[in-house]
Structure 1
């Protein structure tokens, strides 16, 4: 079953996973509130097959079998080009509104497999296990979520200090067959709709915290794994009325590992800080950010087109303030595309085990993209204003009692039909100010980590790499520098 369709994906969720929504434990497949999201994710797998030329490639290890292109272990510029085409196509399924489609963690996992040299700092048996797990994901076409953020409840102390030390995931016992882990992790987007929880390093941890230095994967129905859902923002509405909320709420969960036993064959890092603290910096800046940046570019393209249509509907495109806002989004879109193009053109081998990733400068988008996405929503609100609130259900236009009235009193400018006006404004409302739209904005702000931490990290990396000297050089050339 190298590539699954939507029905096969849903069948894989038919198990005894423990999921709490509101005040009750729910059966994921039969929970009414989840139906739109389940259909949306099943359609993602069907979409992958429909666009097989872009999304599916030959399995290099199994003759005549296929696999998702997001699981390519990149070894060349050609691999990156093939993967780029697939990631672009995947992003266009939701036009960037789904941030945790399976291709995201697939790219992360494949990057980890590519950097075998990082695991050489310890026992390579752990990387052999990781490679075997990657093969399981390929052959099962599995849907993975990640759970990587520490349960940092008390922000007045360190991530692994004080009460946080007891609350976040760590090893509590070892058995003949595996390690027993206990604690919470944030934030597992797609959790209820995933096949596996892949836990891997996010930020470095200090010496003495080896019990927290873990990388492993367990099935989503593993005994002791409990998911606590936020309110579900999917709505039981037509795609016409709620094009995003009706099918694209990926659901975030706080996950608790209550004495979960992780088999040794699924344990990929076990207390080795040299490995743990180097995985993310050795994979994320070039590899993972390729998926992230492409999704962002597709989303910005959509937002620019959406806002342009909104301006035409209100006949405001020619106003200087409106044109400036449209140009602002266009600038964000082009800068993102340029960063991707440059990083892929300057792709190179990372480490010594043949990993081939885009240039790490692509990671600068972590430090600016969150602000761009928030600004896009502000512009949508400015352009749409009350028009996004005056959006009747699309079904009303077919109602013989009021349809003609709506067509008469709620048309768009420039001879744009009332139905088109309502459709565009409803799309804008769902994108920016619905419950799901607000959740997505918050997700964009933090899903790659703290903005301040990202910027501080960029500065430290620049200094570690020797950036600087221009000021003293200038002063020396001007004859005023210190001798």
Structure 2
């Protein structure tokens, strides 16, 4: 099986995975509270068939079969352009509001697989097992999520110090079948709706903490894997009334590994800091950021058009403050497009023939959290009280009140009241609803915090850049001798 349909995806959710939501265990495939989210993710799998020319490519190992474009191993700029078109089309399914569609971790896994030179620093079976798993994901069109952040509850000490050392995921034993792992991991967005949990490095760890240096993947229904969900923000409303939260609450879960056995064939790295501490930085800044930047671009396009639509409702395009805010969002969009284009144009071989965009694309990690937060502020500012005075679309069909709604709640310049309601409800669901607020927080820490991203970029710049312009200026100006 490759390139699953929505129905095939939903069938894969019918297993004995352990998911806690609210005060109860839930059967993900059958629980009515999760039905909208399940259908929404199933729609993603159907979408790849609807736009197969862009989203699917030939499986290089199975003639006649197709696979998701995000699973290709890019070896040229042309490959990156093919992947760009596919990733952009996949993002347009939710217009960027789904942050953890399967293509995200697919791109991560494919990048890891492509960098065989990094794996060569460790045990040879690591890359062999990873490549086999990559093939398994292709053939099953599996929906993966990751959970990669240490359970560092006490932020007054190091990630692996004090109480954190006992809370975060680590190796606690082994048997003839595999290793035994115990501890928590943050944060499995899409976890309850995924097929696989991929655990890998997010940041280097020090010598002496090798028991935490783990890269592996296991099915979400593996014995001992427990997912603890936040409150569900999906709503049982029509798509017109809740265009995002009726379908796109992808859920977030804290994952507890309660003495979980990971088969050796699924253990890609155990305790090897030469691999663990270099893999993410050898892949993420160029490869993974292509997917995330494209998703952000699509979302900014939508946000700009949405804010313009709000201004049309209220006839406020001519107001200087509104024009400035619209121009601000458009500047974020233009900069994002330009960064993506430049990074793809400057793509190069990162090692082992893996061609990724230039790492300058990672600058978006440093600015995008602020931009996305600001976009939501602008939506609330332009929409103002109108966001709070919007009836249900279904209410217009009520003969007792429908005509009064059309009279007193139209848009400007002859816009029908129903159209005004559609725009304002979309804006509220984007930036003001429970799901909208969750997505804003998600964007703030999507690819580490903005602070860590900026510090990381600074450290890389000092390490790899060619500096000394100040000294050169002083020498040429005669301030100091040459």
List aligned pairs for 1:27-426, cutoff 5 A. Answer: 27-351=27-351, 353-426=352-425
Q: Does 1:477 align with 2:476?
A: yes
SS at match of 1:211: helix
- Post-superposition CA distance 1:220-244 (Å, at most 9, x none): 1000000000000000000000000
Alpha-carbon distance in structure 2 between the residues aligned to 1:46 and 1:470: 54
- Structure 2 Cα separation of the partners of residues 365 and 184 of structure 1: 29
What TM-score do the two structures reach when normalised by structure 1?
A: 0.99
Q: Following the alignment from structure 2 to structure 1, what is the Cα–Cα distance between the partners of residues 374 and 481? A: 45
TM-score by length of 2: 0.99
Q: Which residue pairs with 2:458 in the alignment?
A: 459
C-alpha distance in structure 2 between counterparts of 1:2 and 1:452, whole Å? 40
d(CA) in 2 for partners of 1:286, 1:9: 30
Partner SS state of residue 179, structure 1: strand
CA RMSD of aligned residues (A): 0.7
Structure 1 gaps of 5+ residues are: none
- Aligned equivalents of 1:429 and 1:455: distance in 2? 31
**Deviation at residue 397 of structure 1 after TM alignment:** 1.2
Secondary structure in 1 matching 2:19: strand
Whole-angstrom distance in 1 between the partners of 2:117 and 2:378 = 45
- CA distance in 1 between partners of 2:34 and 2:199 (Å): 24
Q: Deviations over 1:8-34 (max 9, x none)?
A: 001101000000001111111111110
Q: CA deviation at 1:78?
A: 1.2
**Counterpart of 2:93 in 1: which secondary structure?**
helix
Q: What stretches of structure 1 move > 3 A for 4+ residues in a row?
A: none
C-alpha distance in structure 2 between counterparts of 1:424 and 1:468, whole Å: 50
Is 407-416 or 157-166 further displaced after alignment?
Answer: 407-416
Look up the SS of the partner of 2:330 in the other structure: helix
CA distance in 2, matches of 1:422, 1:481: 68
> Is 2:418 aligned against 1:445?
no
CA offsets 1:247-302 (integer angstroms, 9 cap, x no match): 00000000000000100000001100010000110000000000000000000000
Is the partner of 1:30 in helix, strand or coil? coil
Q: What CA distance in whole angstroms lies between the structure 2 residues aligned with 1:239 and 1:450?
A: 32
- How far the C-alpha of 1:414 sits from its partner, in A, is 1.8
Cα deviation code 1:185-242 (max 9, x no counterpart): 0000000100000001101100101000000000010000000000000000000000
CA–CA distance in structure 2, aligned partners of residues 140 and 190 of structure 1: 18
Q: State the SS of the aligned residue for 1:292.
A: helix
Take 1:84 and 1:12, find their aligned partners in 2: how far apart are those partners? 28
Partner in structure 2 of residue 21 of structure 1: 21
The secondary structure found in structure 2 opposite 1:218 is strand
C-alpha displacement at 1:432, in angstroms? 0.1
Q: Is the partner of 2:80 in helix, strand or coil? A: helix
Rounded to whole Å, the distance in 2 between the matches of 1:92 and 1:111 is 23
Which whole-Å CA distance do the structure 2 matches of 1:466 and 1:329 have between them?
Answer: 31
Shift of 1:471: 1.3
Specify the SS of the correspondent of 1:94: coil
SS of 2:92's equivalent in the other structure is: helix
Structure 2 runs not aligned, ≥5 long? none
CA distance in 1, matches of 2:427, 2:480: 56
Partner SS, residue 16 of structure 1: coil
- Deviation for aligned residue 1:468: 2.1
Distance in 2 between the 1:30 and 1:113 partners? Answer: 35
Q: Quick one: distance in 2 between partners of 1:433 and 1:473?
A: 52
Q: CA deviation at 1:482?
A: 4.9
> 2:143 and 2:363 mapped to 1: Cα distance?
28
